[in-house]
């Protein structure tokens, strides 16, 4: 691949991924995640402590694998961080180290920014304000309560902890928080506003978020068999499982990355995003399809050039049907597709970043995971090339990662395999 800094279409600068890190229910580094993907081991668990919530039907969740924070994460440094912000900040720090930029003057120069999101802030902080409104008491509130509760708590804490002084895009758009973070970071660099960006999303596991989907009858209730759920695109699927995690990608101007001899994992080729403008919770296959086509148009690619699609794949009744039909309308039935959420549950704000990270790693490895628990594809879903039973060896130059969120927000990202 040549090192020309300007895109072939002349519309902006080329953008590459130079660092990646994250936390997920099946591992907190690529080696651990890949091992679980290859052996079809999911991270879904029975959440025993959720039994205390009367009326909550699901007892399934995807907690992040245990992790420890190093000494620099002092009590004082973390007083404004909930669990989600801690995961996001540490993932960002690890991604910067992976990119060779941790401690680099670029971080605090104003030429590096942040585009990062989550569905919400820390649930415990929200509860403290709820206690005030319901019980007329400020017990539990302190100077950091709002900072931990606000939807952009992760982006702000990343910036403060790491000393980032560029622009901050805070993306709080439910299931597209992470993918919009990557997309807006890409656009900030592409159009010369920043040289590099920390991009991604996070979410903390909470019974309150499980309850959101429970009220919509959209959660899995296979409570006695957590290893059998979720089941994206399967005829026996009974709903989603809520998970947690954080993912961070370092996006960088290609010329800047080459000049400093940075490791390059992939090139960001295209980003499409739109909104249904129709219904808050009901998926719209037509607008999903348009977002996918927008991503392809932005990348100047034809559908047949995409070698693999990372599906949103939540295992909800209508969501899987709509997504499969939108995907089939663009690609037909010949492009391999699988759903990472079958291993982790729906990590909400984190999913777009985690799934982009995993898709890039698989493209580099030439191997793509199967969808767990996909035993019999639902005939109501479109006939796609679902990777089932076991992973598939596959060499491809381009991969696509799609996400579709509450509010009718749709995203599509395209990455190109980097070859020096």
Q: 268-291 burial, b for 16+ CB within 10 Å, e for fewer? A: bbbbbbbebeeeeeebbbebbbbb
Q: Which two three-digit tokens encode residue 216?
A: 């919509």
Q: Would residue 396 show up in a list of annotated catalytic residues for this protein?
A: no
Indicate which residue of 152, 175, 351, 381 is catalytic. 175
Whose tokens are 């519309």? That residue is 11
| Phi–psi pair at 338, nearest 5 degrees | -155, 165
Indicate which residue of 346, 351, 369, 381 is catalytic. 346
Q: Would residue 175 show up in a list of annotated catalytic residues for this protein?
A: yes
Counts for the chain of helices (H) and strands (E), in that order:
12, 16
Indicate which residue of 169, 256, 312, 369 is catalytic. 312
For strand 112-117 and strand 168-170, is the pairing parallel, antiparallel, or unpaired? parallel
> d(Cα 8, Cα 18) in Å, to the nearest integer?
21
| Phi–psi pair at 84, nearest 5 degrees | -60, -45
Q: Which residues contact 363 (CB under 8 A, 6 or more apart)?
A: 266, 307, 308, 396, 399, 415, 417
- Say if CB 330 and CB 293 are below 8 A apart: yes
Q: Which residues are catalytic?
A: 175, 312, 346
């Amino acid at each position: 691949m040549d090192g020309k800094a300007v895109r072939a279409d002349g519309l902006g600068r080329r953008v590459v991924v130079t660092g990646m890190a994250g936390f997920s229910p099946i591992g907190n580094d690529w080696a651990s995640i890949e091992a679980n993907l290859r052996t079809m081991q999911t991270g879904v668990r029975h959440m025993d402590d959720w039994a205390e919530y009367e009326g909550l039907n699901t007892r399934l969740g995807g907690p992040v694998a245990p992790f420890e924070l190093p000494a620099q994460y002092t009590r004082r440094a973390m007083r404004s961080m909930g669990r989600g912000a801690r995961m996001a900040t540490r993932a960002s720090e690890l991604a910067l180290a992976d990119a060779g930029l941790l401690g680099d003057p670029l971080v605090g120069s104003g030429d590096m920014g942040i585009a990062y999101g989550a569905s919400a802030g820390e649930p415990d902080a929200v509860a403290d304000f709820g206690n005030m409104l319901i019980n007329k008491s400020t017990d539990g509130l302190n100077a950091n309560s709002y900072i931990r509760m606000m939807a952009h708590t992760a982006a702000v804490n990343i910036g403060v902890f790491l000393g980032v002084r560029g622009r901050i895009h805070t993306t709080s758009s439910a299931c597209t928080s992470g993918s919009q973070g990557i997309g807006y970071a890409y656009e900030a660099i592409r159009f010369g506003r920043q040289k590099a960006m920390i991009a991604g999303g996070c979410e903390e596991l909470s019974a309150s978020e499980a309850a959101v989907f429970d009220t919509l009858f959209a959660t899995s209730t296979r409570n006695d068999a957590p290893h059998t759920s979720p089941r994206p695109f399967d005829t026996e699927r009974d709903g989603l499982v809520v998970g947690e995690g954080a993912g961070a990608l370092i996006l960088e101007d290609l010329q800047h990355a080459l000049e400093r001899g940075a490791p390059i994992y992939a090139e960001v080729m295209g980003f499409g995003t739109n909104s249904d403008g129709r219904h808050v919770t009901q998926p719209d296959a037509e607008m999903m399809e348009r977002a996918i086509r927008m991503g392809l148009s932005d990348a100047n690619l034809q559908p047949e050039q995409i070698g693999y699609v990372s599906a949103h794949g939540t295992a909800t009744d209508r969501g899987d049907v709509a997504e499969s039909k939108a995907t089939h309308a663009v690609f037909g039935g010949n492009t391999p597709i699988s759903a990472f959420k079958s291993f982790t549950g729906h990590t909400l704000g984190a999913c777009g970043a985690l799934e982009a990270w995993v898709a890039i790693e698989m493209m580099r490895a030439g191997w793509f995971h199967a969808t767990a628990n996909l035993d019999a594809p639902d005939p109501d879903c479109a006939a796609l090339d679902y990777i089932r039973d076991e992973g598939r060896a596959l060499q491809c130059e381009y991969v696509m990662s799609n996400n579709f969120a509450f509010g009718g927000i749709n995203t599509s990202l395209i990455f190109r395999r980097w070859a020096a």
